Structure 1
Amino acid sequence: MSPDQIPYLDFDGRGPVLHFAHANSYPPGCYRQLLQALAPRFRVLAMQHRPLWPGSQPESMTDWRIMGDDLIRFMDQHELRGVYGVGHSMGAVASLYAGIKRPDLFSALVFIEPVFFAPDVLHAIGAQAHGDLLHDFPLVRTALNRRAHWPSRAAAFSHLRPKRVFARLSDAALWDYVNYGLHQDETGQVVLSYPAAWEARVYSLPPTDVWDLLPRLTMPVLAVRGEETDTLMPPAWTLWQQLQPQATFRELADADHLLPFSHPQRLAQIILDFAPPTA
């Protein structure tokens, strides 16, 4: 792969291309159960966002639009058009930006738990800003203080298993996070593959223009929300339905922001049911 080629994972599969865009701090391999469930009908590709690129610097990101531009570049590198685009959290926003700028790239879009904050929340976040980094924003603090290394994968699993954020994940799903979200460093320890500085940088620059963009999308859109989410809150969900009434909206019971990991089979079926007729 040349230095200019964007790295990605190919989950094989057959049929038309489905591109999956991953969330902040969750590399594509963590979604193994979901993406393998889609592979019987699609060739599933998952670009790695720039925080996972070797040598990438957090300062290269000044807003989330760069993630959409990266996705466009990836599509052009592989001469992809009319792709079924699916994104989770940050990946959903990246897919939105790409779909607005280059609608020819997508036959339909699925936004799973996108980071769409209601206007009053965005105003409050803006009022807290210090320079261009929201050091006091809870998600930023959490990212910067997160434990990043363990003596073994088993130790990492044991440490993470009781965490509330992973409460709805099966052991198999959590092992996917341990196996694909961590790697062994030169000392033999296992460390987070997604740098904390990058995770914090992404969280410090929440997208503010999504409400202006959503009504401009021309392709079919499926919106998916976990009923117990702490991200896509009811005011934002309601506003989205008002701005894009032609979209399809689905909620999953007993699911939160990490529903691709906690409910992979249910989510896969929803994605397959919404697929364009030509897919």
Structure 2
Amino acid sequence: MTMTWQHTPLADGTAPSWHSNTDSPKVVFHHATALGPRCYAPFLDALTGDFDVAALAMRPLWPDAPAPDRKRGWDQFGDDLIDWLEATQSAPAFVVGHSIGAATTAMAAIKRPDLFAGLVLIEPSGVTGRIHFMLRAVPYKMRQTTGPAAEVLRGPTNWSDLETAFTEYRASRAYRRFDDATLRALVEALTVRDPKSRGIMLEYPRNWEAHLYAKPPHILPVLKKLSVPTQIITGKPSLFMDPSIARDLQKARPDLPFTQLSDYGHLLPLEAPQEVATATRTALHALL
């Protein structure tokens, strides 16, 4: 697969997007927190046999984006997607999103359904109403010193070389289902050359990652409001998509088809790119 980068000026900065440049039907991809478009190369490559893919980089990866605004939550990425679609697409788009990319795609589709022809939401993340209510009572700074946000800020951002970074990721339980080749490719895609040393560094800024963990939305009401044709793909029950959310959504919206790939976790497009791409192609063809 040969992908090329394009850069689109938007109100708050310049949005890069990674394009397959084929003559197939167009599909937009919206990635997860801490993962840029390059991390999804095997998954996107498996889609390009049927579709012309454009993977939009979210604002933490823009070269000139402002710092996180504590007053803004995930919906800011939905607004960015709307702005980018208005600037680049000549017709309503089919959009595939993963995790926060799925959640914010849903937010954008509710606000501007005219821009969307159909959605495939892979593990749309967020929190339950109970957790959202509890978080609202916790000051923003405190949310960044406890829980997932604090763990992110304590994590390393630089390594001397790729092998050192791979060894550290290999020891993490989050990646235990990845084989070595898949994980090594992911670590390489997560990192860029560190201009201050001869080593490598994370491409995705930790301050943005922590900000997003501190501002999760109550996602169920968002998903219930969808009017655009939508297919949903889920993996194993996890912290990132509480099983009660999927259960309650299926009850409230039986018209939204679910595909469950229960052998894989929340990172399923990275963990099993071929299998998830097959399910995604099936879902997209059902929407065409």
- TM surpasses 0.5: yes
1:51 to 37, 60, 64: 60
Q: Which residue number in structure 2 is paired with residue 264 of structure 1?
A: 273
Q: Which residue number in structure 2 is paired with residue 67 of structure 1?
A: 77
Q: Which residue number in structure 1 is paired with residue 134 of structure 2?
A: 124
Q: Which residue number in structure 1 is paired with residue 94 of structure 2?
A: 84
Q: Counterpart amino acid of 2:144?
A: H
Q: Which residue number in structure 2 is paired with residue 97 of structure 1?
A: 107
Q: Counterpart amino acid of 1:109?
A: L
Greater alpha carbon shift after TM alignment, 89-98 vs 133-142: 133-142
Greater alpha carbon shift after TM alignment, 17-26 vs 222-231: 222-231
Greater alpha carbon shift after TM alignment, 31-40 vs 54-63: 54-63
RMSD: 1.9
Q: Which residue number in structure 2 is paired with residue 143 of structure 1?
A: 152
2:263 to 241, 246, 254: 254
Q: Which runs of 4+ in 1 moved over 6 A?
A: none
C-alpha distance in structure 2 between counterparts of 1:9 and 1:212, whole Å: 31
Alignment of 1:208-247 (within 5 A): 208=218, 210-247=219-256
C-alpha distance in structure 1 between counterparts of 2:286 and 2:240, whole Å: 31
Q: Deviations over 1:99-119 (max 9, x none)?
A: 111212222111111113221
C-alpha distance in structure 1 between counterparts of 2:216 and 2:63, whole Å: 24
**CA 239–222 in structure 1, closer or farther in 2 if over 3 Å, else same:** same
Whether the 8 Å contact between 1:151 and 1:190 is mirrored in structure 2 is yes
The share of aligned pairs that are identical, in percent, is 30
Q: Which residue number in structure 2 is paired with residue 273 of structure 1?
A: 282
Q: Which residue number in structure 1 is paired with residue 3 of structure 2?
A: none
Q: Deviations over 1:205-263 (max 9, x none)?
A: 1113x333323322221112112423212111111112222101121122111111111
Alignment of 1:196-207 (within 5 A): 196-207=206-217
Alignment of 1:149-228 (within 5 A): 149-186=158-195, 187-208=197-218, 210-228=219-237
Q: Does 1:22 align with 2:31?
A: yes
Whether the 8 Å contact between 1:12 and 1:39 is mirrored in structure 2 is no
Whether the 8 Å contact between 1:64 and 1:202 is mirrored in structure 2 is yes
Shift of 1:2: 6.3
Shift of 1:133: 5.7
Shift of 1:54: 1.8
Whether the 8 Å contact between 2:229 and 2:287 is mirrored in structure 1 is no
Q: Which residue number in structure 2 is paired with residue 107 of structure 1?
A: 117
Name the SS for the 1:45 alignment partner.
strand
Whether the 8 Å contact between 1:85 and 1:95 is mirrored in structure 2 is yes
Q: Counterpart amino acid of 1:233?
A: D
Stretches of structure 1 that go unaligned for 5 or more consecutive residues are none
**CA 43–230 in structure 1, closer or farther in 2 if over 3 Å, else same:** same
Q: Deviations over 1:39-91 (max 9, x none)?
A: 01111111110011124233336111110110011111112422221111110
Q: Counterpart amino acid of 1:111?
A: L
Shift of 1:184: 0.4
Whether the 8 Å contact between 2:8 and 2:16 is mirrored in structure 1 is no
Whether the 8 Å contact between 1:226 and 1:253 is mirrored in structure 2 is yes
Count how many residue pairs are aligned between Structure 1 and Structure 2.
Answer: 277
Q: Which residue number in structure 1 is paired with residue 4 of structure 2?
A: none
Query: How high is the TM-score relative to the length of structure 1?
Result: 0.92
**CA 102–163 in structure 1, closer or farther in 2 if over 3 Å, else same:** same
Shift of 1:278: 7.3
Name the SS for the 2:84 alignment partner.
helix
Shift of 1:142: 1.4
Name the SS for the 1:122 alignment partner.
helix
C-alpha distance in structure 2 between counterparts of 1:229 and 1:203, whole Å: 15
Whether the 8 Å contact between 2:224 and 2:249 is mirrored in structure 1 is no
C-alpha distance in structure 2 between counterparts of 1:123 and 1:73, whole Å: 30
C-alpha distance in structure 2 between counterparts of 1:88 and 1:173, whole Å: 18
